[in-house]
A and B are shown apart, each in its own frame.
Chain A
Amino acid sequence: MSVSPSGDAGDVDQAPVGRDASPGTLEPAGAAGYGPETLASLTADAAEIVARYPDPRSGLLPMLHLVQSVDGYVSRAGILFCAEQLGITAAEVSAVATFYTQYKRKPNGKYTVGVCTNTLCAVMGGDEIFDELSEHLGVGHDETTDDGAITLERVECNAACDYAPVMMVNWEFFDNQTPQTATEVTDRLRAGEDVAPTRGADTVCSFKQMSRVLAGFPDDRAHEGVGAGEPTLAGLRIARERGATHPGGAAGQDTTPGEDAR
């Protein structure tokens, strides 16, 4: 059930260049291979990105995230679009796009499922979680299931070592995983169910929606989810029990330990 290296089998969250075109019609490509409507909205968003920086070139990373929010990967059209917006060559854009692991060179699944297999998570069980998921999904690292739902990855340390073993789904935290919890998450994602991360928004969004946020366009979900998980608060809990405080501080402020978020 693994797919070809191009990863283009039956994907629901991806479309080839010229995605505005309905089947059977060959819409004339816009300036960079996009249909006119897509091109217009991309151009408006790109202008907003560029306006955040003293130098327009600084907008390239967010602009590549933006391209992924439309195409589900950094397409040829997307590279040409960025080059045109910034007045640089396609080669210069490609050089940047190929340097960073979050930019995909082939259509990505609706969900990127990344298992941390850096040393600490690997030793605590991450290696077995990855192997189990790989077997369960029938794909290896950087491959996509043939329903287009999941791209499986080994990921490097994601700054959540106190929650090891960690899995990321579209870069939301799934803490303290086991092979069973990880396969359940992927089963539910493939069944189209809403899945909640341990620390993050109430539900995991799609790869394209995530990419739009990373381009700097908020989705108004910042206030969803918790402020901290238990390990984040481990030291604070003990200090509170003891009434410990810094020099001149007032212990036991009007916080309510145990009551997070909501």
Chain B
Amino acid sequence: MTDLLPVLTDTWDAPRSWRLSTYEKHGGYAGLKKALRMAPSDLVQTVKDSGLRGRGGAGFPAGMKWGFLPPDDGGPRYLVVNADESEPGTCKDIPLMMASPQHLIEGAIITSYAIGCNHAFIYVRGEVLHVYRRLLEAVAEARRVGYLGTNILGSGFDLEITVHAGAGAYICGEETALLDSLEGLRGQPRLKPPFPAVEGLYARPTVVNNVETVASVPGIVDRGSDWFTAMGTEKSTGHGLFSLSGHVTRPGQYEAPLGITLRELLDEAGGMRGGKALKFWTPGGSSTPLFTAEHLDTPLDYESVGAAGSMLGTRALQLFDETVCVVRAVSRWTDFYAHESCGKCTPCREGTYWLKQILHRIEGGEGQDQDIDVLLDLCDNILGRAFCALGDGATSPITSSIQYFRDEYQAHIDGRGCPFDPSASALFPYTPRTPMPSAAAASGQLVGAGGGGH
């Protein structure tokens, strides 16, 4: 049994948790004081030893990423914090920055010191006004007491942090698109190599790390890498925020060691809403292949989730019960990818456009017999051929849902429409506006019935 354990969340219930004074009262900035007495290379080694892997989805070892920077040539090097949290289902960094922005600021200062950066950036999505306010104020508070500025705590180390608001574009969560956006351009991904470690912001060596990754650094420095590796699994060490949403009794943030299972998390969260059956779920956001109830006991670590055919991603667990039509869910995610495709590469720009049309026609009762195979063929032509991970991600919900619920797609085609009652999935009662098109719906068949069973 893996238990919940508060580390990053530990101060979130404190009065005025976002204030620097609150954070310091709970031990905040002990990590920075310790770090400034260490050699930067020792800090990089400590983070390598901790096994901390990127919490933004890809899971790349953070210490190794830092270690990729070329030797100091006297020019600037940058830390850019990716706070553009936009992956559907992902909702951990925004509450972290709302409740405890100093966690991120302290982590950013330590990381900057470790990599030799004197000007760090936090790129936060523009659609979270109050979080942006909190971050601006957190930087100002840290500067007032000398955690930022020149000669920080007498160490001789100088650092400024600029908090930069985006303007609405999912693609800017991709690290090279984020860098282009931060340079004042359209947010479109760059060809790699060169990787940001060599040529990043302003073509200078740059580390791009996720909010939760950076916020995990102070604890590792303060308590040691052994403390971190005592949590989680051998290859997926440490703590992580697991975000439960959807048809669960108590949705929310659950901080636990990596390797906890959905069954264990559901026990904590009061089970599925109204005792209904779990139908499908995302382990790490909409870009990670769907799981079903058969994966309830899959340990949520990078290796186990990968071996089961998906990705741990951002631990964004969106749970859908038996009332939900999988075609409706996937069709809507596909609208999202088509809307957010940056247009740079043809497979993604054109592919998501066609995926969307076909899904709409299946959902609307005008699907054709070959449509499922056309969808799979389109996905096959996007996956691995797109310029960045957005295109790959767009195929994940489609191919995985067809793998597990092909019959349900076929039922939409054969029955000329959706057999589900959308109001059964909502949290409030209402009368659906448009009568359900299919004969099956009219006769009451399948409405609210267990999904996939037809």
With an 8 A cutoff between CB atoms, is A21 at the interface? no
**Which residues on the A side are within 8 Å of B202 (C-beta)?**
54-55
**Is the Cβ of B252 less than 8 Å from the Cβ of A124?**
no
**Is the Cβ of B89 less than 8 Å from the Cβ of A120?**
yes
B250 touches which of A157, A234, A246, A255 (Cβ 8 Å): A234
Q: Quick one: CB contact mask for B182-201 with A, threshold 8 Å, 1 for yes?
A: 11111100000000000000
With an 8 A cutoff between CB atoms, is A248 at the interface? yes
**Which residues on the A side are within 8 Å of B90 (C-beta)?**
157, 159, 161
Considering the chains assembled together, what is the distance between the CA atoms of A238 and B99 in angstroms? 18
**Which residues on the B side are within 8 Å of A255 (C-beta)?**
11, 13-15, 26
With an 8 A cutoff between CB atoms, is B37 at the interface? no
Q: Of the 9-residue stretches B39-47, B52-60, B424-432, which lies at the interface with chain A?
A: B424-432
Report the minimal beta-carbon distance from A72 to chain B, rounded to whole angstroms: 15
B425 touches which of A124, A157, A163, A242 (Cβ 8 Å): A124
**Which residues on the A side are within 8 Å of B140 (C-beta)?**
218
**Is the Cβ of A158 less than 8 Å from the Cβ of B328?**
no
With an 8 A cutoff between CB atoms, is A37 at the interface? no
Q: Of the 9-residue stretches A24-32, A142-150, A225-233, which lies at the interface with chain B?
A: A225-233
**Which residues on the A side are within 8 Å of B15 (C-beta)?**
255-256, 259-262
Residue among A62, A123, A172 with the highest chain B CB neighbour number at 10 A: A123
**Is the Cβ of B98 less than 8 Å from the Cβ of A199?**
yes
**Is the Cβ of A162 less than 8 Å from the Cβ of B133?**
no
**Is the Cβ of A125 less than 8 Å from the Cβ of B427?**
yes
With an 8 A cutoff between CB atoms, is A257 at the interface? yes
A231 touches which of B87, B250, B427 (Cβ 8 Å): B250
Considering the chains assembled together, what is the distance between the CA atoms of A103 and B247 in angstroms? 34
With an 8 A cutoff between CB atoms, is B251 at the interface? yes
**Is the Cβ of B14 less than 8 Å from the Cβ of A200?**
no
Considering the chains assembled together, what is the distance between the CA atoms of A260 and B89 in angstroms? 25
Report the minimal beta-carbon distance from A99 to chain B, rounded to whole angstroms: 4
**Is the Cβ of B246 less than 8 Å from the Cβ of A164?**
yes
Q: Quick one: CB contact mask for A191-224 with B, threshold 8 Å, 1 for yes?
A: 0000001011100000000100111101101110
Given A99-B169, A120-B245, A231-B252, check contact A213 B133 (CB 8 Å).
yes
Interface CB pairs A-B, < 8 A, 21:
A55-B183, A57-B184, A96-B186, A102-B167, A118-B88, A157-B87, A159-B94, A161-B89, A161-B91, A161-B318, A172-B130, A179-B430, A199-B98, A201-B130, A218-B136, A218-B137, A227-B98, A232-B253, A233-B9, A235-B253, A244-B3
Query: Which chain B residues have a beta carbon within 8 Å of chain A's beta carbons?
Result: 3-7, 9-19, 25-26, 76, 85-91, 93-95, 98-100, 119, 125-130, 132-134, 136-137, 140, 162-170, 181-187, 202, 223, 227, 230-231, 239, 242-247, 250-256, 268-269, 286, 316, 318, 320, 324, 328-330, 332-333, 336, 339-340, 342, 422-423, 425-428, 430, 433
Known A96-B184, A235-B242, A247-B227; 18 more pairs at CB < 8 Å: A102-B167, A119-B332, A124-B247, A127-B422, A156-B88, A157-B88, A162-B91, A164-B427, A172-B129, A201-B133, A214-B167, A218-B133, A221-B133, A222-B137, A227-B18, A227-B99, A234-B269, A245-B6
Query: Which chain A residues have a beta carbon within 8 Å of chain B's beta carbons?
Result: 52-55, 57-62, 64-65, 86, 95-96, 99-103, 117-120, 122-125, 127-128, 131, 155-165, 168, 170-173, 176, 178-179, 197, 199-201, 210, 213-216, 218-219, 221-223, 225, 227-228, 230-240, 242, 244-249, 253-262
